[in-house]
Structure 1
Amino acid sequence: MEAKQIYTEEKPEYNAKAIMFVLLLGSFIALFNETILNVAFPKLMTEMHITATTAQWLTTGYVLVVGILVPVTAFLIHTFTTKQLFLSAMIIFLIGTLCAVFSNTFTALLISRIIQALGTGMLIPIMMNSALVVTPPEKRGSIMGLCVCIITLGPALGPTVSGLLLQHFSWHSLFMLLIPILLICIIGGYIYLENISVITKPKIDYLSILLSTIGFAGIIYSVSSVGTSSLLSTAAIFVIGLIALIFFGKRQLSLKQPILEIRSFKHPVFAIGTLLIILMQMFNFSINVILPLLLQNGLNTSSFTSAMAILPPILLGCVLTPFVGKIYDKIGGNIIIPLGFAVACIFTFVLSHISPSTPISTITLIYCAIMIGISMSMSTSQTTALSELSGKNQADGVAIVNTAMQIAGALGSALFVGIMTAYQNIYLKNINDASASTNQVNAIYTGFNHSITIAALLIGIGFILSLILSKKNRARSNKN
């Protein structure tokens, strides 16, 4: 039975600027909240008596829940009005934030983060879908560029702003900061938002949601447990997650209204482009987790210093992204994407060889060079991937890319923190005086160097794939 469409034929006029301002602000604060605790990890580890692997679940758990919710957003957009969805999301986000303000244990704080994620998981797809609807075709490039900038800038600024606050206040203040902004979003959404989607009341497949939850959660948890749990249990959980994702994929192919339209992966350019996004996002998200850990625990710097060390690369990336987009419009991605991966790979490898004697300024400069490569490859890979799809399939492509980015962030954080912790523990086991401060610092750097080396290898794989992508792009252009 076909779903009943409930909408008028006459296209209404929207206050596009007001709608997009509210949605962009709400999405920014949600993404900003993803990484707001990163530089607070050392303090939380001391105060709550937890390890770095445990602490990173405050970020990984948040991103994981968001990633699980993103595929469901397509169903929600066609079931509820835009205003209903946005206000519900922001109110749940506000409740989770209030709970975080009054949390004093790791369990309470993790539950608060999960509540926040339940509210914010739908915001990014709503923002991007709304941008395509309310913006005329000749201006979509600019508004989508702004959306990508928000997606990049939000999580990147989280550690910087929180580092500044932690100089003078407790970590509870990080969540107090969000409350007035959330209230502005709720009031603005109530006043300005209108329904801009086609409500069809589709049927949701609960088994798909269950399989995707088990699959993503199993893989992320198993990767995050590297070095802290037994190899057998970690492998078993990983296999369970992988099997669940395989069944999830098969079920999507059999459904008339799948939760996630994975047939888009039949297009080689889209499939490779999405894989490039995953590889780069894994590192892009994770570097802002493990670098503050290195600076504060390895060099004994303050949260303010670690925040200032990563601020220049973040601002550089924000400035470069629109500029790179203009270059992409003129010459395409055949050259700029491989070049971006090459630059990122080379300087990530350089970063993997730093030592306790390396000045913080040098680390910042290396990170700036890495960010140049990321800026050249991230948004351009996304644009190339989505351009392969027809108009009717682009909404599914957006959902897949958003899901991939969220899961990649969670997977990368779990993977690189897990590797860092594992090699740190191995180093301490193989020396006589593990409690000596010098050995503790050397252990942290050993873990960091191995983690970043793995990141460089993954980005190197991305470089090879980007060359294949360019070749397929040229073949497609010749056919056209």
Structure 2
Amino acid sequence: MAVDINGKPYHRNLLVMVMLVGSFCTVLNQTILATAFPTLMKAFDISTATVQWLTTGFMMVNGIMIPVSAYLSNKFNSKWLYISAMSIFELGTITAFLAPNFGTLLCGRLIQATAVGITMPLMQNIMLTIFPPEKRGAAMGINGLVIALAPALGPSLSGWVVDNYSWRVLFGMIIPIVAVVIIASFFLMQNVLKNTDPTLDWLSLVISTLGFGSVLYGFSSVGDKGWTSTVVWVSIIFGAILIALLVWRQTKLTNPFLDFKVFKTPEFTLATLLSSIVMIAMVGVELVLPLYLQIVHGMSAFHSGLSLLLGALMMGLMSPVTGDLFDRYGAKRLVMTGMFILTIGTIPFAFLTRETPIFDVIFLYAVRLFGISMVMMPVTTSGMNALPFEMISHGTAVNNTIRQVASSMGSAILISILTNVTNSQKPSHALLKASPLQYKAKMIDATLNGYHAAFWVAITFAVIGLLASSKLKNHNKINARYDADNMQKGGSAK
């Protein structure tokens, strides 16, 4: 029977179910406005640059809160921390649903992001604690189902809702589900994480907030402002300096705000590198591919998002399977196979044409996500298993923070390459008047060259990941300092 830190028995599967449903709602919000931007621009009479803040601001606040999650999970009991975070998310969702203007809508999104920055690392931390190491792969595979499926469903769901209903339904449909999760959490969530009552170093919190916030803002602004923008480079450099200062300060503190000593474990460092590379390869292509389908094939935003649904379902369905395979065979062979499939599946995208069948795009995208499903959660679990038990909360926070930054980097790099190559090869405006049809043909060619360049960069990242995966250990080695008694009190079966 599973017991919490106080020796009180509880139903582990029901606890996991509550977290999965709640996390699905929170993660879904990362992309649920993806195809609703034109509707919102019209509703509030705002520009593209302004409406993008609904995503940029969400990512920034989410990224800022993730490092804080390690302190919160050590300071407060897991049951009330989860209930509090989900209540904050519900407040943000209701605010967005009732928003009379864009400022209120943005405020609601930022409140949501605050909660998501807590719930996602907390869920991962709890899953790694309540399951013994030999079953963590399967547990994290279930976690991966949520992380993979929810964001991928966002664009399709968003397009369908805004085509048939008000944009407010995007938030309204989530409100009752989250309310049920909060009520269920009072009965089914338990205190499964040990608390150490750490002291919050406020200076570290300020440095972390400004540092990661600045870096995320810089990368998120590249698509709108370009790499030549002073704002972009000042933000990234300023943020990088503050992050370096944060790392230095943590080495001087007895109880660090975010313990970067996790990088002294080579397996964790390699796992974080690999998961970041996969995020860059995945998120960047997720942004570029719908643009290709809309601009070159003339598809609507909804149908372009729907074209990516098979890949999302593939990744969601495979995550639990690959988690079980990780428990059986370890990380190296699984991850190397996944990186190879990702690489092979990405290469054809560098040769897309105007005549490429939509079915081919859908199939190849599904192949890519099949490969990613073999990498993301297995490599993360491998890195966590290499850490001492008491370092898991810090490892989770560090891993998630770096992956968040990698997501912003991937988006910025691929979109900027697409834009720069297209602009450098597009025909002169004079040709538009002289020969409109020729201008259109050359413009499409320039755009395709931009897509090709972006996909070649994605291929490069995949190859780097494939080479790096060869350094993983053959078997899933669990850290020798693992505390079995802590595990038992954290929720494993006696």
| Separation in structure 1 between the aligned mates of residue 291 and residue 247 of structure 2, nearest angstrom | 37
Cα deviation for residue 150 of structure 1 reads 1.7
Residue 360 of structure 2 is matched in structure 1 by: 362
Cα deviation for residue 118 of structure 1 reads 1.0
| Equivalent position amino acid for 2:247 in 1 | G
Cα deviation for residue 312 of structure 1 reads 0.8
Residue 406 of structure 1 is matched in structure 2 by: 404
| Separation in structure 2 between the aligned mates of residue 380 and residue 465 of structure 1, nearest angstrom | 15
Cα distance per residue 1:30-66 (max 9 Å; x no partner): 1111111223345456665534x66554334323322
The answer to whether the 8 Å contact 1:39/1:292 transfers is no
Correspondence 1:50 to 2:47: yes
| Separation in structure 2 between the aligned mates of residue 369 and residue 260 of structure 1, nearest angstrom | 37
Residue 275 of structure 1 is matched in structure 2 by: 273
Q: 1:113 to 1:425 in 2, by over 3 A?
A: farther
The answer to whether the 8 Å contact 2:144/2:316 transfers is no
Partner of 2:356: helix, strand, or coil?
coil
Cα deviation for residue 195 of structure 1 reads 2.9
The answer to whether the 8 Å contact 2:208/2:243 transfers is yes
Cα distance per residue 1:387-431 (max 9 Å; x no partner): 322333333222222222333223323333343344444445755
TM-score by length of 2: 0.85
Residue 283 of structure 2 is matched in structure 1 by: 285
Q: 1:399 to 1:237 in 2, by over 3 A?
A: closer
| Separation in structure 1 between the aligned mates of residue 372 and residue 189 of structure 2, nearest angstrom | 34
Aligned match for 1:323, one of 321, 324, 342: 321
Cα deviation for residue 244 of structure 1 reads 0.8
Aligned match for 1:459, one of 459, 462, 487: 462
Q: 1:124 to 1:42 in 2, by over 3 A?
A: same
Cα deviation for residue 441 of structure 1 reads 5.0
State the superposition RMSD in angstroms.
Answer: 3.0
Aligned match for 1:234, one of 232, 235, 246: 232
Residue 37 of structure 1 is matched in structure 2 by: 33
Cα deviation for residue 139 of structure 1 reads 4.8
Residue 83 of structure 2 is matched in structure 1 by: 87
The answer to whether the 8 Å contact 1:355/1:445 transfers is yes
Correspondence 1:178 to 2:174: yes
Q: 1:264 to 1:180 in 2, by over 3 A?
A: same
Q: 1:238 to 1:125 in 2, by over 3 A?
A: closer
Cα deviation for residue 434 of structure 1 reads 6.6
More divergent stretch after superposition (412-421 vs 69-78):
412-421
The answer to whether the 8 Å contact 1:226/1:419 transfers is no
The answer to whether the 8 Å contact 1:65/1:118 transfers is yes
| Separation in structure 2 between the aligned mates of residue 162 and residue 316 of structure 1, nearest angstrom | 20
Aligned match for 2:63, one of 62, 67, 84: 67
| Equivalent position amino acid for 1:420 in 2 | L
Residue 483 of structure 2 is matched in structure 1 by: none
Identity of aligned residues (%): 33
Aligned match for 2:247, one of 249, 264, 267: 249
The answer to whether the 8 Å contact 1:163/1:306 transfers is no
| Equivalent position amino acid for 1:327 in 2 | L
| Separation in structure 2 between the aligned mates of residue 392 and residue 199 of structure 1, nearest angstrom | 10
Residue 488 of structure 2 is matched in structure 1 by: none
Instruction: Give the number of equivalent residue pairs.
Output: 467
Aligned match for 1:217, one of 196, 213, 222: 213
Unmatched runs of 5 consecutive residues or more in structure 1 = 1-7
TM-score by length of 1: 0.87
| Separation in structure 2 between the aligned mates of residue 168 and residue 388 of structure 1, nearest angstrom | 49
| Equivalent position amino acid for 1:280 in 2 | V
Residue 162 of structure 1 is matched in structure 2 by: 158
Q: 1:353 to 1:59 in 2, by over 3 A?
A: farther
Unmatched runs of 5 consecutive residues or more in structure 2 = 481-494
Q: 1:360 to 1:110 in 2, by over 3 A?
A: farther
